[in-house]
Structure 1
Amino acid sequence: MVTKSLLLLAALWTTIVNAETMEETIKRNPPRNISISHGSLGEYTLSWEGNCTCTEGIEYQLEYTYLDSKDNEMEMYYLQENQKVLDLELHRGLQARVRLTYGDNPGITSNWTERTFDLSGELFASVDNLICIFYGKLYMNCSWDVTEHASEGAQFNLSYRERNPSEVYNCTDYLVDGGRNIGCVNHKYRLGEATETIICISEVNKKDKLPYCRIVKPGSFYKLDSPMNVTINKSTDEVEWTLPKFGLNIICYNFQLNITNLNDRNSKLENVTTTNHFISRDHTKKYSVHVRVVVNDNCLESSIWSDWSKPLIIDPDGRDMSFPTIVAVVAVILVALVLLLVLVCMKCKLLSKLCQPIPDAEQKFKGLFEECNGDFQKWINKSIQLTNKVEDSSLATAK
């Protein structure tokens, strides 16, 4: 028993002495001289020097963050080697630090060795504000601004890749302004929506300039097609719509409805997670409804909404009229027409013209009725005889 106890005490003492020795060694040999070098498209190697000859249980702890990061969130790695290959958006500037750690005892560390890489914008391709939008799994559109530092003949190309630097893809169709490429349009991209992709703009005629790069997940910049076939059931006020096929489950989508009262132009937005929604409306007023969609954080969490759908116009509800109401309306219309006709006649004096008295034939032709009892033939013969007598009298007088 005594022997075993002595052995345990000896082992414990050895461990304590070794730990103290390791702690002193680590603290005396912090990493030194952090440097960075450029490799392939958007790829950089962070490296440093280390004097510590103690290798068993020793690791390097590397941390870095971008200078323009709002939350100063650190990326962290534990490494056996004194370098790390990284894909970086180096134009944003970089704060890096490294130290030695003892794996069996995280409290045993060296001091941090830090370095800031705040590189001039002139070292990179003369562009800024690189933005890419991905349309489902079909194609992408990218655009960028040319900075004031660009030379007159500066020309730019877009390339992209995933983690493997040997598989680089190039844009095939550019948007050109003033002879310069300022965008990549309708490009069929070949990478996964959930995989980090590094997209870089290189200045063709300035090989010494570093590429301007962004690291994105395509799914975070998805822009879906607009919802289609927006309809409403007027009896229940349920609005429904359909989606183009994207290959995602319905739980992946958030929808937004823009409901506008067209009488007073008041609008409201309503957020839903299904392809139908009951709206509240005044049935005596006219409305328009638009719908748009975005991928939510259940799947990819895009920050870009689709365009609004074509407007659904909802007219005020019609009212059914009873038979007495129809009769009354028709009667009112007829009376109105009669009154209108009378007014027109009075205005144009048509009544006096249309209502002239019928001439009395007995007054105009008294001989016909008083002497011949209305016998027209007898009256004619008598008139002829009378005319002949008058003519004979006229001849006799003339002689």
Structure 2
Amino acid sequence: MNGTSVENFSCVIYNISFMNCTWNVGRNAPEDTEYFLYLMYSKEEDELKCPHYIKDALGRHIACSFQDVKIVKEDVYFRVNGISNKSEIQFYDENIKLYEIEKLTPPLNISVNYSEDPPECTVRWKRPNLSHSEENIDHCFKYQINIQDKKTNANPKERSDEPIPKKEVKEPHYKIPDFNMKKKYIVKIRAKGDGCLISNTWGEWSEPIEIGNDAVPIVEIVLLLIALGTLVVALVLFFLCKRYCSVKKLFSPVPQPKNKFDDLLQLSDKDTQMEWMDLPPVKYETEEITIIEEIK
């Protein structure tokens, strides 16, 4: 039946020798359909069976992975057979050039060279490794370099919806224009083939590397040093007081102001008492009064 063979068949080679092939189940294939993938490097060699399948929810094969794939110049023959208890299944076959489906690894040995006067920065690298080696193929690559401002990239409010422009170069080095030593940048690089038997699709990005100084403004440095100094002094005083001082010494009672009016009253009372004590004793004299009564 038409529509029983696999659909959207595609393969990609990663990490030099790992190949993953995927497909969709035919739109008219019965639910019990099972697919099997084979490949053959040449007519003189035997077919290779898929060593590891990936299944869907119904248990049907929808992908296959190969290891230690060797990339050759000639086409490689792929065929997917299908079987079912309900219907005959069409097979699918295709000839593929393996170097065309290879996803290149990132460029190697990325290094950065600075110069301060004038301020310049040059990024250098080496071509990615290939599963097949040929002599004098350094000229068969094109590179794309992505440079972002680290501060802007880290702040979502400063990000722009516009895509960051990527520079394309032919040589394995790039001089950053208008380089600012006080900023920090994030750099990534990837490669693709430009002629020769190399894939002409962009490969994987390299791990991001940081370049530049990301200098902090002088005012911020001064304020930070002042804050740190104040904190250190406060901690030293705290521990010294805790070690050698007591709460009573630190918080002695405040003397009350002297009331001069009370002092004067106290002094007056004291003088009065002293005068009273110094008075000589008083002698009381008795006077006898004789009353003569006249008798008539």
Question: What is the match of residue 173 of structure 1?
Answer: 52
Displacement after TM superposition at 1:203 (Å):
0.5
**2:40 partner amino acid:** R
**2:53 partner amino acid:** Y
Check 1:134–1:148 CA distance in 2 against 1; reply closer, same or farther (3 A cut).
Answer: same
Task: Please say if 1:156 is aligned against 2:35.
Answer: yes
Which of 275, 279, 287 is 2:185 aligned to?
Answer: 287
Displacement after TM superposition at 1:353 (Å):
5.0
Displacement after TM superposition at 1:337 (Å):
4.5
Over residues 255-308 of structure 1, what are the superposed CA-to-partner deviations in whole Å (9 max), with x where a residue is unaligned? 1111112324462201122322111234333321111122222x1241432221
Task: Please say if 1:305 is aligned against 2:202.
Answer: yes
Displacement after TM superposition at 1:155 (Å):
0.5
Question: What is the match of residue 112 of structure 2?
Answer: 232
Question: What is the match of residue 195 of structure 1?
Answer: 74
Check 1:187–1:176 CA distance in 2 against 1; reply closer, same or farther (3 A cut).
Answer: farther
Distance 2:210 2:159 in 1: 13
Which of 110, 130, 148 is 1:260 aligned to?
Answer: 148
Which has a greater percent of strand? Answer: 1
Over residues 71-109 of structure 1, what are the superposed CA-to-partner deviations in whole Å (9 max), with x where a residue is unaligned? xxxxxxxxxxxxxxxxxxxxxxxxxxxxxxxxxxxxxxx
**1:185 partner amino acid:** S
**2:189 partner amino acid:** V
Displacement after TM superposition at 1:310 (Å):
0.8
Question: What is the match of residue 22 of structure 1?
Answer: none
Distance 1:135 1:156 in 2: 23
> Does the CA contact (< 8 Å) of 1:130 and 1:214 recur in 2?
no
Aligned pairs for 1:366-377 within 5 A: none
Check 1:251–1:211 CA distance in 2 against 1; reply closer, same or farther (3 A cut).
Answer: same
The 4+ residue runs of structure 1 with deviation greater than 6 A are 354-357
Aligned pairs for 1:306-345 within 5 A: 306-316=203-213, 318=215, 333=226, 337=230
**2:141 partner amino acid:** Y
Displacement after TM superposition at 1:354 (Å):
7.9
Task: Please say if 1:141 is aligned against 2:20.
Answer: yes
Runs of 5+ consecutive residues of structure 2 not aligned to the other structure: 153-157, 238-249, 256-296
Distance 1:333 1:182 in 2: 65
TM-score in terms of structure 1 length: 0.46
Check 1:161–1:125 CA distance in 2 against 1; reply closer, same or farther (3 A cut).
Answer: farther
Question: What is the match of residue 241 of structure 1?
Answer: 125
Displacement after TM superposition at 1:124 (Å):
5.8
> Does the CA contact (< 8 Å) of 2:23 and 2:62 recur in 1?
yes
Distance 2:88 2:42 in 1: 23
Aligned residues: 218
Distance 1:353 1:166 in 2: 98
> Does the CA contact (< 8 Å) of 2:39 and 2:48 recur in 1?
yes
Runs of 5+ consecutive residues of structure 1 not aligned to the other structure: 1-121, 322-328, 345-351, 358-399
Check 1:354–1:176 CA distance in 2 against 1; reply closer, same or farther (3 A cut).
Answer: same
Which of 102, 124, 127 is 1:222 aligned to?
Answer: 102
Taking only the aligned residue pairs, the percentage that are identical comes to: 26
> Does the CA contact (< 8 Å) of 2:13 and 2:101 recur in 1?
yes
Task: Please say if 1:132 is aligned against 2:34.
Answer: no
**Counterpart of 1:305 in 2: which secondary structure?**
coil
Displacement after TM superposition at 1:355 (Å):
11
Question: What is the match of residue 53 of structure 1?
Answer: none
**Counterpart of 1:237 in 2: which secondary structure?**
strand
> Does the CA contact (< 8 Å) of 2:52 and 2:65 recur in 1?
yes
Displacement after TM superposition at 1:181 (Å):
1.1
> Does the CA contact (< 8 Å) of 1:222 and 1:295 recur in 2?
no
**Counterpart of 1:219 in 2: which secondary structure?**
helix
> Does the CA contact (< 8 Å) of 1:125 and 1:212 recur in 2?
no
**Counterpart of 1:220 in 2: which secondary structure?**
helix
Question: What is the match of residue 296 of structure 1?
Answer: 194
TM-score in terms of structure 2 length: 0.60
Question: What is the match of residue 243 of structure 2?
Answer: none
**Counterpart of 1:292 in 2: which secondary structure?**
strand
Distance 2:45 2:129 in 1: 33
Distance 1:353 1:276 in 2: 71
Distance 1:283 1:265 in 2: 21
Check 1:191–1:305 CA distance in 2 against 1; reply closer, same or farther (3 A cut).
Answer: closer
Displacement after TM superposition at 1:168 (Å):
2.4
Distance 1:333 1:277 in 2: 42
RMSD of the alignment, in Å?
Answer: 3.8
Over residues 346-393 of structure 1, what are the superposed CA-to-partner deviations in whole Å (9 max), with x where a residue is unaligned? xxxxxx958989xxxxxxxxxxxxxxxxxxxxxxxxxxxxxxxxxxxx
**1:172 partner amino acid:** P
> Does the CA contact (< 8 Å) of 1:231 and 1:312 recur in 2?
no
